[in-house]
C-alpha cells in the first residue's frame, strides 16, 4: 500500500473543543484513536499532514482525518487502488461535529473489537466474575477483575492491559476499558462507553467517551458525553442529557458562534485539562473548552470558553497558574508537562 496521509485542515475547527490540543486523527472513538485504527487495518505507519503542508505527490494517498475507517472500507480501498476506483464510503463514519463521537461510539467500539481480538485468545474470566455472553468478552493480560458483572448481550466488552474493575460493578456492553484504567467499586456502566487509558471512573455512566488520563471517580451521572484528557469531575458532579420537554438539544458550535441542533440527547462535551468542583451540575448540551476551572455556586453556562475560571465564565484562568496546576495533575499519574505542551497552551491562550 502507498503511504497514507491524514489531514484535518478542512475539519479541525468543526470538532472544537477536542481538536485544539490534538490532531483530529488522534481523537478516540471506540477503543482506538482514528490514527490507531488506520495503522491496525493497514499494518503500516500513518503520516499526519500539518495544515500548511502541500498535498503529497502521486505516490501517496490522502484522507480526511475525520474519516473513521472500518475493515470493509480498507478492503475496498485495496481493491480500488488497483482498479482506479473509489473505496466504499458507505462503510465508514465521518465525524462532522463533536457529539458524533458518542453518537457513533457503539459502531466504532464494535469495529475495533473485531480488529483487536482477531485470531487472539482472551485471558480467562475470573471465577468471581458473572459473565453474560462470555464469548463477547475479551480480557488482556494483567487486567484485574473480581466480583463484578459483565453483560455482553448488546455488544462486546473489552478490558485492556493492566486495567481494573473493582467489586460490585455492573457493566453492560458495548464497553471498552483501556490500558491502566480503573472502574471503582459499585459503578454502573451502560453502553456504548469507552474509558480511555489511565482514567478512573465511578458512579453511573452511559454512552460516554473519555479520551484518557481523566477522572470521574465518584458518584454522579455522566451520560451521552465526551471528556478530553487530563480532566477531573468533582464528587457528585452530574449532567443532564435530555431536555425536560424532550425537544432537540442545541449545542454551542464554535465555528458558527451559535447554538445548533445535536439531536435528542447530548450531555457534556469537555475539552482537555478542564476541571469542575464537587456537586457541579451541567445543563443539557454543555460545551467546556480547554483549561477551564469551574468552581462556585449555580449551574455553569452552556458554553464555558477556554481558560475560564469560576462558574460564570467571567474571569480568566491566569496562564502561569493554569500551567502549574496542569503539571500538578500530571504528577498524580506519574507524567510530566512537556515544553511542547506548554508552548501549545501559550499559543491557544494568546490566539483563541
Please confirm whether the linkage preceding 248 is cis (ω < 30° from 0): no
pLDDT of amino acid 196: 98
Contacts 24+ apart (CB under 8 A), 48-55: 48/5, 48/6, 48/7, 48/23, 49/5, 49/6, 49/7, 49/9, 51/7, 51/8, 51/9, 51/12, 53/7
Order of all β-strands in the sheet with 61-64: 46-49, 4-7, 61-64
Measured CA to CA, the distance from residue 292 to residue 274 in angstroms comes to 5
pTM, full prediction: 0.95
Cα 122 off chain centre by: 24
- Please check the confidence at residue 1 and state whether its pLDDT lies above 80: no
pLDDT of amino acid 84: 63
Cell digits for 56? Answer: 503529497
Listing DSSP states for 204-259 in one string gives EEEEEEEEES-EE-SSSEEEEEEEEET-EEPTT-EE--S-TT----EEEETTTTEE
- Please check the confidence at residue 10 and state whether its pLDDT lies above 90: no
Do the beta carbons of residue 34 and residue 15 sit within 8 Å?
Answer: no
Count the neighbouring beta carbons within 10 Å of the beta carbon of residue 97. 19
**Each residue's pLDDT tens digit, 118-164:** 999 999 999 999 999 999 999 999 999 999 999 999 999 999 999 99
- Please check the confidence at residue 80 and state whether its pLDDT lies above 80: no
Rg (CA), the chain: 20
Give mean pLDDT, residues 69-73.
94
Do the beta carbons of residue 276 and residue 230 sit within 8 Å?
Answer: no
Measured CA to CA, the distance from residue 231 to residue 258 in angstroms comes to 25
Measured CA to CA, the distance from residue 31 to residue 193 in angstroms comes to 9
Measured CA to CA, the distance from residue 15 to residue 58 in angstroms comes to 29
**Each residue's pLDDT tens digit, 215-260:** 999 999 999 999 999 999 999 999 999 999 999 999 999 999 999 9
Cell digits for 171? Answer: 457493566
At a CB cut-off of 8 Å and minimum separation 6, what does 230 contact?
A: 213, 214, 272, 273, 326, 329, 330
pLDDT of amino acid 331: 96
At a CB cut-off of 8 Å and minimum separation 6, what does 82 contact?
A: none
H helix or E strand, kind and range, residue 13: none
Amino acid at each position: 500500500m502507498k503511504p497514507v496521509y491524514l489531514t484535518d485542515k478542512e475539519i479541525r475547527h468543526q470538532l472544537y473543543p477536542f481538536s485544539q490540543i490534538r490532531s483530529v486523527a488522534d481523537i478516540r472513538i471506540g477503543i482506538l484513536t482514528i490514527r490507531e485504527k488506520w495503522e491496525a487495518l493497514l499494518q503500516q505507519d500513518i503520516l499526519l499532514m500539518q495544515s500548511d503542508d502541500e498535498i503529497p505527490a502521486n505516490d501517496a494517498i490522502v484522507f480526511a482525518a475525520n474519516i473513521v475507517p472500518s475493515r470493509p472500507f480498507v478492503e475496498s480501498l485495496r481493491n480500488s487502488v488497483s482498479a482506479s476506483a473509489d473505496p466504499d464510503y458507505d462503510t465508514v463514519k465521518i465525524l462532522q461535529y463533536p457529539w458524533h463521537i458518542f453518537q457513533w461510539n457503539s459502531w466504532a467500539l464494535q469495529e475495533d473489537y473485531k480488529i483487536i481480538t482477531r485470531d487472539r485468545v482472551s485471558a480467562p474470566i475470573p471465577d468471581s466474575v458473572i459473565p453474560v455472553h462470555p464469548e463477547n468478552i475479551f480480557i488482556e493480560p494483567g487486567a484485574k477483575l473480581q466480583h463484578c458483572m459483565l453483560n455482553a448481550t448488546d455488544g462486546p466488552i473489552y478490558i485492556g492491559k493492566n486495567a481494573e474493575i473493582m467489586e460490585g460493578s455492573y457493566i453492560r456492553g458495548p464497553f471498552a476499558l483501556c490500558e491502566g484504567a480503573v472502574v471503582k467499586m459499585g459503578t454502573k456502566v451502560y453502553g456504548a462507553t469507552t474509558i480511555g487509558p489511565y482514567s478512573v471512573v465511578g458512579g453511573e455512566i452511559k454512552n460516554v467517551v473519555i479520551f484518557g488520563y481523566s477522572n470521574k471517580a465518584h458518584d454522579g451521572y455522566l451520560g451521552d458525553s465526551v471528556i478530553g484528557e487530563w480532566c477531573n469531575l468533582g464528587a457528585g458532579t452530574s449532567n443532564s442529557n435530555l431536555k425536560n420537554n424532550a425537544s432537540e438539544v442545541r449545542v454551542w458550535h464554535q465555528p458558527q458562534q451559535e447554538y445548533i441542533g445535536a439531536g435528542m440527547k447530548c450531555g457534556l462535551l469537555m475539552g482537555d485539562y478542564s476541571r469542575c468542583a464537587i456537586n457541579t451540575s451541567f445543563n443539557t448540551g454543555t460545551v467546556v473548552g480547554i483549561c477551564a476551572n469551574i468552581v462556585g455556586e449555580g449551574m455553569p453556562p452552556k458554553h464555558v470558553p477556554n481558560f475560564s475560571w469560576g462558574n460564570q465564565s467571567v474571569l480568566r484562568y491566569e496562564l502561569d497558574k493554569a500551567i502549574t496546576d496542569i503539571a500538578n495533575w500530571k504528577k498524580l499519574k506519574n507524567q510530566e508537562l512537556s515544553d511542547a505542551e506548554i508552548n501549545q497552551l501559550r499559543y491557544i491562550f494568546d490566539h483563541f
